[in-house]
């Protein structure tokens, strides 16, 4: 592979026979394939629905992608090495990550107006199509843009795949997981490369969701404190749960802890089982990827 594609992690349970996946025509139908894709990366995991267990995870960083045309080229290059992933799985769910999305409650949604909803907050170009996810737990539609070239590429590889927006999985999985927990206000931060997503919930209800681009740790904490202040939430009292690309031994975590005391990292969802290969992977990493099977999108 080219120097633009950087392997990050590759873990396979011994029970998942990669050689058999490559050689036997129907064995892949035992498994569900989940993929998360963005301009800067590609990750996938494999789930055995019979055993309710995750058996594999692999992740790559894409460098200097620049455009979705280049992203499609990287996908082609990657699948030359991962040709067995093109086989017929029980299901293929793809989480697409970009920052052009908007939520519309069920009563206000009109499918014929979806272009207007999204264009109100974002600039949509001719090489993008507008699609949406139905979020049953939130009782809202998530409208987002999907590059046409990327959609065509993914449908060519996986004709029956379901493509959802990353924020749909993030929101739905949090609401489902915490719906029977004590009704208190909780703040969730999903940390991505140069972006943070903030979700505030109270029981089954979502109070706030938005994404912010940051360059420095000071930017990061500014957006967090600004949101808490606008919602009249005390940083000393709020329960803050961290998801994504952040570690406890990091200057970013130390910065957050200066302002918010009740912090913890999200645990994996105990509705699923996980192979031993996940034992040394922090529980809040790859949260979206490992929860797409929880959501009915």
Share of the chain above pLDDT 70, in %: 98
Residues 271 and 248 in one domain: no
Residues 93 and 172 in one domain: yes
Domain of residue 39, CATH code: 3.30.420.250
Closest to 223 (Cα-Cα) out of 242, 258, 195, 184: 195
pLDDT at 53: 96
Tell me what the mean pLDDT of segment 151-179 comes to: 96
Contact 197, 241 (CB under 8 A): no
pLDDT at 272: 96
Binned at pLDDT 50, 70 and 90, residue 25 comes out as low
Residues 39 and 107 in one domain: yes
Q: Tens digits of per-residue pLDDT, 183-235? A: 899 999 999 999 999 999 998 899 999 999 999 999 999 999 999 999 999 99
Buried b / exposed e over 132-141, threshold 16 CB at 10 Å, is bbbbebbebb
CA dist 56 and 274 (Å) reads 9
Contact 253, 221 (CB under 8 A): no
Residues 137 and 212 in one domain: no
Residues 69 and 155 in one domain: yes
The parent domain of residue 115 ranges over: 1-180+267-297
pLDDT at 84: 87
Neighbours of 177 (CB within 10 A): 16
Q: Tens digits of per-residue pLDDT, 111-149? A: 999 999 999 989 999 999 999 999 999 999 999 999 999
CA dist 157 and 123 (Å) reads 28
Q: Which residues pair with 111 in a beta bridge?
A: none
**Contact residues for 196 (Cβ-Cβ < 8 A; gap 6+):** 189, 190, 211, 212, 214, 220, 223, 224
Residues 169 and 201 in one domain: no
In the chain, the number of structural domains is 2
Helices of type H across 2-136: 18-23, 68-81, 114-121
Residues 173 and 51 in one domain: yes
Residues 89 and 129 in one domain: yes
Residues 146 and 192 in one domain: no
Q: Tens digits of per-residue pLDDT, 27-50? A: 788 899 999 999 999 999 999 999
The structure tokens 């912090």 sit at 263
Checking if the pLDDT of 1 tops 70, the result is no
Residues 208 and 170 in one domain: no
Share of the chain above pLDDT 90, in %: 84
CA dist 295 and 291 (Å) reads 7
pLDDT at 296: 79
Distance of CA 28 to the CA centre of its chain: 23
Domain of residue 239, CATH code: 3.30.420.260
Binned at pLDDT 50, 70 and 90, residue 256 comes out as very high
**Contact residues for 135 (Cβ-Cβ < 8 A; gap 6+):** 103, 141, 142, 168, 171, 172, 297
Structure-block tokens of residue 201: 């919930």
Strands 239-244 and 263-265 turn out to be parallel
pLDDT at 23: 64
CA atoms within 13 A on the CB side of 221: 14
**Residue 158, phi then psi, degrees to nearest 5:** -125, 85
Residues 90 and 204 in one domain: no
The structure tokens 């699609």 sit at 131
Residues 282 and 221 in one domain: no
Checking if the pLDDT of 262 tops 90, the result is yes
pLDDT at 28: 82
């Amino acid at each position: 592979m080219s120097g633009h594609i950087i392997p990050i992690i590759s873990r396979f349970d011994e029970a998942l026979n990669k050689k058999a996946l490559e050689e036997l025509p129907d064995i892949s139908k035992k498994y569900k394939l989940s993929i998360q894709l963005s301009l800067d990366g590609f990750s996938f995991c494999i789930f055995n629905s019979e055993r309710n267990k995750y058996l594999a995870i692999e992740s790559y960083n894409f460098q200097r992608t620049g455009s979705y045309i280049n992203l499609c080229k990287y996908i082609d290059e990657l699948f030359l090495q991962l040709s067995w992933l093109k086989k017929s799985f029980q299901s293929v769910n793809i989480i697409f990550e970009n920052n052009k999305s908007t939520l519309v409650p069920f009563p206000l949604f009109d499918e014929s107006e979806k272009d207007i909803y999204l264009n109100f907050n974002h600039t949509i170009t001719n090489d993008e199509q507008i699609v949406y996810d139905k979020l049953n737990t939130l009782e809202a539609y998530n409208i987002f843009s999907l590059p046409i070239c990327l959609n065509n590429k993914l449908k060519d590889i996986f004709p029956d795949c379901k493509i959802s927006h990353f924020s749909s999985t993030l929101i739905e999985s949090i609401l489902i997981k915490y719906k029977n927990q004590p009704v208190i206000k909780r703040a969730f931060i999903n940390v991505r490369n140069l972006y943070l997503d903030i979700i505030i919930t109270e029981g089954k209800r979502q109070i706030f969701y938005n994404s912010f681009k940051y360059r420095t740790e000071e930017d990061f904490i500014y957006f967090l404190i600004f949101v808490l202040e606008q919602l009249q939430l005390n940083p000393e009292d709020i329960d803050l749960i961290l998801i994504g690309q952040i570690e406890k031994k990091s200057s970013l975590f130390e910065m957050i802890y200066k302002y918010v005391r009740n912090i913890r990292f999200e645990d994996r969802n105990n509705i699923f089982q996980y192979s031993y290969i996940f034992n040394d992977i922090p529980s809040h990493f790859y949260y979206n990827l490992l929860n797409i099977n929880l959501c009915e999108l």
